[in-house]
Structure 1
Amino acid sequence: MPFTRKAYRAAILHSIADPAEVGIEASYEYFEDGLLVVENGQISAIGHATELLATLPADIEITHYQDALITPGLIDTHIHLPQTGMVGAYGEQLLDWLNTYTFPCESQFADKAHADEVADIFIKELLRNGTTTALVFGSVHPQSVNSFFEAAQQLDLRMIAGKVMMDRNAPDYLTDTAESSYVESKALIERWHGKGRLHYAVTPRFAPTSTPEQLTLAGQLLGEYPDLYMQTHISENLKEVEWVKELFPERKGYLDVYDHYQLLGERSVFAHGVHLCDDECARLAETGSAIAFCPTSNFFLGSGLFNLPMAEKHKLNVGLGTDVGGGTSFSLLQTLNEAYKVMQLQGARLSPFKSLYLATLGGARALRLEDKIGTLHAGTDADFLVLDYNATPLLSYRLKQANNIAETLFVLMTLGDDRTVLQTYAAGKLVHQR
């Protein structure tokens, strides 16, 4: 492979720590006139342009952006590929919404042509919105995952996905069996896990749609392949929490179901967690598990408000999730707009730097990938974005009134969306140009 070295000059900002642990000022690095140097798909240097330019060869290609901000690529820790076609579906809460909209939509993914078409649309939407890594639910069909990984591999994206395991409490046309889910998941793991920048996630949909036999085999897969991911849902909706108690009366609570089947661990990500208690947060933190905070979806489906301060108290890893199609936008900027409101409704603050952390380094830590993505440190993958301060007339006017990077960042997160993302780079390659 030929050696490539390029540099990008603009304002540059990245999270380097959790503001809840180190304070806001020590949580980020900002270069008002910064330079990012990329060599062979990785970042080789970051710093003040005036200092770095002198160290570079005279013939290096430098792209200079005016009125723009370079940040790490955004990380979506919870999203559903097969729900792309039903995003913005009217009028239901979680359990009715699944039966009315989700299951019929997911049934189409047995068809390769359909799965290929949606995978293409889905990845383009992620990149248009500046999302360079996502933890993705497929459908129950292996084809949904094959199509997604084929498309992601062509662009050398760092993506994680898994086939849904679901052997009860769903329509007959959409269930597998404990045994078939194990066999099909294993085949997908052998084909895709660790190939390029791709990773596999064992994916029981949620406790009510898996028998004890299926959950046992999900745990067995995690034991057989030590660096696999596990993704599922937890405590999203009060009726769902009650249903789990009825289905698993022998367990202490919802989290204890997953704990019993050995599904907690350092690469386990539980979506929502709106109705978790203190003890459950402590247990998640103790096992190194993470929560995907999905504010847009929690509002849209009327599920409730995630208690981020409680998670912080327990030092629980938290990432951000759009949860498309329960969430109504692929944009993590828009998701942060909603996250701010979730905190406001609980009498708490969400600083713009904590928001940046959740969408980048926090997500990377939730996925145990902070050595590769989530920051712009030298040695990490060159997954980054260029955000345009003049993306819309209102944004342009409003940012001219901003006095510092904190205000600029907050405005980008409240007024910004896919139009704000001028360019998206993955492994040093331009994968989206507005």
Structure 2
Amino acid sequence: MTSSISAHRGPLFHMLADPAEVGEEASYQYWEDGLLVVADGKIIAAGAYSDLLSTLPDGAVIENHPDSLIVPGFIDTHIHYPQTEMIGAFGKQLLEWLNTYTFPTERDFQDPQHARRVARVFLDELLKNGTTTALVFGTVHPESVDMFFEEALERNLRMICGKVMMDRNAPDYLCDTAESSYQDSKALLEKWHGKGRLLYAVTPRFAPTSTPEQLAAAGRLRQEHPDAYMHTHLSENLAECAWVKELFPQCANYLDVYDHYGLLGKRAVLAHGIHLCEDEWKRLHSSDSALAFCPTSNLFLGSGLFALEEAERHKVKVGLGTDVGGGTSFSLLQTLNEAYKVMQLRGQALTPFKSFYLATLGGARALELDHCLGGFTAGKEADFVVLDKRATPLLQLRMENCRSLAEQLFAFSILGDDRAIRATYAAGRCVHKK
């Protein structure tokens, strides 16, 4: 019993609810001298050190984390692992960027060894940046998903991934067919979904690169495996939206394309959602679908400014996405930096508590995983991050002048990056240490 228990002492913070719904005071818990107790990969207690010390068995080892803040592991609700090696590619908007950079890069993932090599770099970068769970695009090649899941399984990570389904409006070397995409996706789903901490996502790239027959096949997979995920793109770019209207004139709007083929609902996560009409917002809510807010890539590709206030008004679940490689950083702290600026440009305020909600519990809720991720409630999986208040001279100086927890959180979200991650733990085990 003693050997299976570990305890971590330091300032401890997690979100309990969306501050937009319950107010800031009721939305979080914070213990300045806290203790996080872990056994067999799960949290068994979190609270004040003085209250929990006596509950530890004799001989239990306490790891101290001074000058830190212990928070739940970050959750990235939209990212492309095959785009790791083309991150920061210069100067195009979405559709031209895909054709110029993305598609040629993804061609190489038919080679399993190449896919494995990039998957390793990708997972190392996630953990270095404190991200313990991500919803991930593979490529059209089944090998890309196999290699990703093999690497994630070895690290015992909670990861979600899927094979891209794409049978038109893309290079021949990246196209499958409606039938082959169905068969390949089904085989991968049955092989990996629920294995270890892994989960599968049915992944049509976006409406323009799938025929109606392929979208129908994706819908059939969703119907046959209702506990699997659906992951795609929605209304990222105005030219993209116009293209969808041309390709699917029978549908009322972009979201209606996915709705028509049975792709909305719980565990459906649609990235971006920048250019939405009122009917689309209402349908996202009524279908219980979720959006991934990807501020870094939206700014980098000039796509637009996400309306977080509309998501709140319509009670639509939202998580945060780095969207690497359109996004330019694996760091969700840096992504919060960009999210704050997007909201400023919209004349809205993104508070520090809302920021950390989006990066942790909000992401877990968007993925329907808040029963096991996103906080320090007893029974949840012990994925957490130790943030370093002395990570850089500038951050240390700023922290010394912070007079509240909110100021500390804001400083991390504006000045923090991978250097601010002192350690990352997955299922109670240290998987990255600075």
When normalised by structure 2's length, the TM-score is: 0.99
For residue 353 of structure 1, report the CA deviation from its aligned partner.
0.2
Counterpart secondary structure, 1:66: coil
Query: How much has 1:56 moved relative to structure 2?
Result: 1.4
- Answering whether residue 149 of structure 2 is matched by residue 149 of structure 1, we say yes
Partner of 1:169: 169
SS at match of 1:25: coil
Q: Deviation digits for residues 226-277 of structure 1, max 9, x if unmatched?
A: 2000000000000000000000011101000000000001010000001012
Q: Counterpart of 2:124?
A: 124
Task: Tell me: CA distance 1:2–1:122, structure 2 relative to 1, closer, same or farther (3 Å).
Answer: farther
Structure-to-structure mapping, 1:316-395, within 5 angstroms: 316-395=316-395
Query: Who is 1:14 aligned against?
Result: 14
Deviation at 1:2, TM superposition (A): 9.5
Q: Distance in 1 between matches of 2:122 and 2:287?
A: 32
Name the CA distance, whole Å, in 1 between partners of 2:226 and 2:412: 39
Specify whether residues 2 and 147 from structure 1 end up closer, same or farther in structure 2 by C-alpha distance, changes over 3 A only.
farther
Counterparts in 2 of 1:61 and 1:428: CA distance versus 1, 3 Å: same
**Following superposition, which runs of at least 4 residues in structure 1 exceed 4 angstroms of deviation?**
none
Matched, 1:39 2:1: no
Query: What are the ranges of 5 or more consecutive residues in structure 2 without an aligned counterpart?
Result: none
| Counterpart residue identity of residue 312, structure 2 | E
Kept after mapping to 2: 8 A contact 1:278/1:310: no
2:249 aligned residue: 249
State TM-score, norm by structure 1. Answer: 0.99
Q: How many residue pairs end up in the alignment? A: 434
For 2:79, the aligned partner's letter is I
What letter corresponds to residue 273 of structure 1 in structure 2?
G
Q: How does 1:35-434 map to 2 (within 5 A)?
A: 35-434=35-434
CA contact (8 A) 2:271 2:294 kept: yes
* Deviation, structure 1 residue 190: 1.1
SS at match of 1:312: helix
Distance 1:378 1:282 in 2: 34
SS where residue 26 of structure 1 aligns?
A: coil
Of all paired residues, the percent bearing the same amino acid is 66
2 CA distance for matches of 1:129 and 1:56?
A: 31
- Secondary structure at the residue paired with 2:67? strand
Q: In structure 1, how many angstroms separate the alpha carbons of the residues matched to 2:216 and 2:65?
A: 52
Contact 1:3–1:40 under 8 Å retained in 2: no
Question: By how many angstroms is 1:58 displaced?
Answer: 3.1
Structure 1 counterpart SS, 2:26: helix
**In structure 2, how many angstroms separate the alpha carbons of the residues matched to 1:429 and 1:116?**
23
Superimposed CA distance per residue, residues 398-421 of structure 1 (whole angstroms, 9 cap, x where no aligned partner): 110000100000000000000100
| Partner SS for 1:350 | coil
